[in-house]
Amino acid sequence: MDLMRAYRECNFDEVKHQLSLGADESLLGWTRLFHVVVFGTGEHLVDLVTSPEYSLADLEKKDKCDRDPLLLALLLGDMSKASILTAAGVTTHHLFSTQSEYLVSQDNPEILSFVLDLYDYDNDSIQKQLMASAISTDSYRCVQFFLENGFDFDAKFCDDIQGSADMFVFLYSQGLKVEKFPTWNNARDALIAKLLGYELDPFFGYYGFEDTIRFSAYDYFKDRKPVYGTRNPERANKPFWLSMIKSGKDANTVDSMFELREEVCPWHHGPTWCNRRFGQSFTALPDGRFIEIAGEHEDHYDPNFCIYNDVIVHDGKGQCDIYIYPRDVFPPTDFHTATFVQSCIYIIGSLGYPEDRTTGHTPVYALDIKSKKISKIKTQGEMPGWISQHEAELNHKHQIVITGGNILVDKEKRDLHKNESTYLLCLKSMKWTKQG
C-alpha cells in the first residue's frame, strides 16, 4: 500500500510505517503542525499553537485530503490534542458540514462523544448527521453509542439515510420500525426479504428477479387492476398479485413487459396492482407472522397512482395471503399507524383520497388478527383530527399515544399543519385526551 492510499483510508499505522521507510511527507501536504499532531507530544503541540508565529489561519490549513489538524487529531483518536486545538480557537463547524463520515469512519465512540460535547449534546441536526454517517459507513460501535445514549431512531431516522443490508437488520433488531427505513432501497428490501422468507436476488436486492415472475399474460390482463372486496374480509390470492408481492416489481416495470408503457397509454387502462408502496404499515406478530396494511403507490401525477385498502398477511416463510374489503368498510388508507394490542391491530389516521378526508375527525379501525375482519371504531373526546404520518405507541395504561405527523385543517385547500400535541386514546373507553 502506498503512502497516499494509506492516508486517504485513515490507515495511520501504515502511514507511519511508510514515512519511517523514507516516503515523501510533502505528498501529504503537511505543515509542521500536522507532523506534531501525528508524531509529537501534547506539550509540543501546546508550544506550537501558542507560538507568536502561528495564526488561527495556520491552525486551520488543510492537507491534500482536505483535512485540518483538528480532524486529523480526532481520526487518530487523540482527544487530548483535539482539546488543545479547540482551546486555541480552531473552527469546528466543518466537522458536521463536510466531515461527518470521517468522524465515524474509525468507529470510535470517544470521537462522537467529544464532538457532541463541542455543541449542544441534544442538537437534533448534528445527531442526525452523525447518525446517518455512522449507518452509511457500517460503524456499529458508533450506532450502539447512539442507542445506549437514548437516541430516538424512530423519531429521527430520515428517509434518505443509506446503509448496508446487515446494518438495517441490526437496526431492526434494536427496535427500529420497518416503516422508518427508506422506501425502495436495496438494503431495506434485503431486510424485508429476510423477515418474510422471500428469495434475495444477489444482483438486484430484495426478492428474486425475473425468475420469480410467476404469472401469465392472462393473469396480468385479468387481475392487474386493484379492486375492492365484496365481503369483510374477502381473500384475494390472485396469481398476479401474489407474484407482484414476491417479485417486488413496481407497476410501471410490469406494464412495460406487456407494452402498457406510460407514453403509449398513460391513463386509459387505470393503475396496475403492486405492493411497492409508501405509507404502508408493517406489523410483526408474536407468532412470527407479519402484516402489511394498505398504503399508496406513487403519487397523483402517475398513471399507476392508487391508495389501497387491503391487508397482506405474511407467514414469515415465503408465503402470504391477501385480503380486500368493501370501500365503505375500510376506505383507501395510507400514512396511518398500526398498533398491535392483544388480538387486534388498531389502524389510526390516514391521508387518503381528498374526497374521503373529514376535518376534525380521526379515523380508527380495528383488524381482528384471527378473522381478518375490520371494524370501524367509534371514538369520542378531543381527537387529533384528520392526521397522517404520525407515530403511535401503546403505553402501560392501555392507551395509544399519538405524536407528530400532519393534521388537515382545511379540506378545500388541502392545508396540512404539523401536529405539535400529544393525543391519548384510551382503549377501554375509546376516549381521546389531548396533552400539550
Q: Give CA–CA dist 153/143, Å, rounded.
A: 10
Ranking 3-12, 36-45, 87-96 by mean pLDDT, the lowest is 87-96
pLDDT grade, residue 203 (50/70/90)? very low
Residue by residue, DSSP assigns 65-82 as: TS--HHHHHHHTT-HHHH
**CATH 2.120.10-classified regions of the chain:** 186-435
pLDDT at 160: 61
Q: What is the pLDDT of residues 264-287, one digit of tens each?
A: 444 457 899 999 999 999 999 999
Tell me what the pLDDT averaged over the chain comes to.
87
pLDDT at 100: 73
In this structure, CATH architecture of domain 3-177: Alpha Horseshoe (1.25)
Helix runs in 149-235, H state only: 153-156, 165-173, 186-196, 217-223
Q: What is the mean pLDDT of residues 333-358?
A: 97
- Nearest residue to 373 (alpha-carbon basis) of 406, 344, 412: 344
Strands 320-324 and 306-314: antiparallel
The larger pLDDT score, comparing residue 205 to residue 334, is at: 334
Grid coordinates in use for 49?
499553537
pLDDT at 213: 61
Omega of the bond leading into 233 within 30 degrees of 0 (cis): yes
In 10 A of CB 156, how many CB atoms? 16
Q: Give CA–CA dist 70/426, Å, rounded.
A: 53
Q: What is the pLDDT of residues 130-172, one digit of tens each?
A: 888 888 889 999 999 988 887 776 655 555 677 888 888 898 8
**CATH 1.25.40.20-classified regions of the chain:** 3-177
- How large a percentage of the chain has pLDDT more than 90? 55
205: pLDDT strictly greater than 60: no
Please, are residues 366 and 425 in contact by the beta-carbon 8 Å criterion?
A: no
Strands 290-297 and 422-426: unpaired
Q: What is the pLDDT of residues 375-388, one digit of tens each?
A: 999 999 999 999 99
Q: Find how far residue 233's CA is from the centre of its chain.
A: 31
Q: Where are the beta strands (DSSP E) in 156-269?
A: 200-201, 205-206, 234-235
360: pLDDT strictly greater than 90: yes
305: pLDDT strictly greater than 90: yes
Cell 491552525 belongs to residue? 59
Please, are residues 273 and 298 in contact by the beta-carbon 8 Å criterion?
A: no
- Sign for the CA dihedral angle at 126, 131, 137, 139 comes to positive
CATH 3.30.1490 given to domain 186-435: no
Q: Give CA–CA dist 415/385, Å, rounded.
A: 13
Query: What secondary structure letter does DSSP report for 259?
Result: T
The larger pLDDT score, comparing residue 10 to residue 236, is at: 236
Please, are residues 338 and 345 in contact by the beta-carbon 8 Å criterion?
A: yes
202: pLDDT strictly greater than 60: no
Please, are residues 344 and 369 in contact by the beta-carbon 8 Å criterion?
A: yes
The larger pLDDT score, comparing residue 209 to residue 412, is at: 412
432: pLDDT strictly greater than 60: yes
Q: What is the pLDDT of residues 26-85, one digit of tens each?
A: 999 999 999 999 999 999 999 999 988 888 788 889 999 988 899 899 989 999 999 999
Residues 6+ apart with CB under 8 A from 351: 279, 296, 334, 335, 357, 388, 389
Q: What is the mean pLDDT of residues 236-246?
A: 93
Q: What is the mean pLDDT of residues 309-338?
A: 97
Cell 376516549 belongs to residue? 431
pLDDT grade, residue 198 (50/70/90)? confident
**Long-range Cβ contact pairs of 190-197 (< 8 A, separation 24 or more):** 190/165, 191/165, 192/282, 194/165, 194/169, 195/284, 195/290, 195/316, 196/290, 196/314, 196/316, 196/318, 196/320, 197/314, 197/315, 197/316, 197/317, 197/318, 197/319
pLDDT grade, residue 116 (50/70/90)? confident
Grid coordinates in use for 298?
406513487
The larger pLDDT score, comparing residue 196 to residue 1, is at: 196
Q: Give CA–CA dist 280/366, Å, rounded.
A: 16
pLDDT at 269: 75
The larger pLDDT score, comparing residue 199 to residue 343, is at: 343
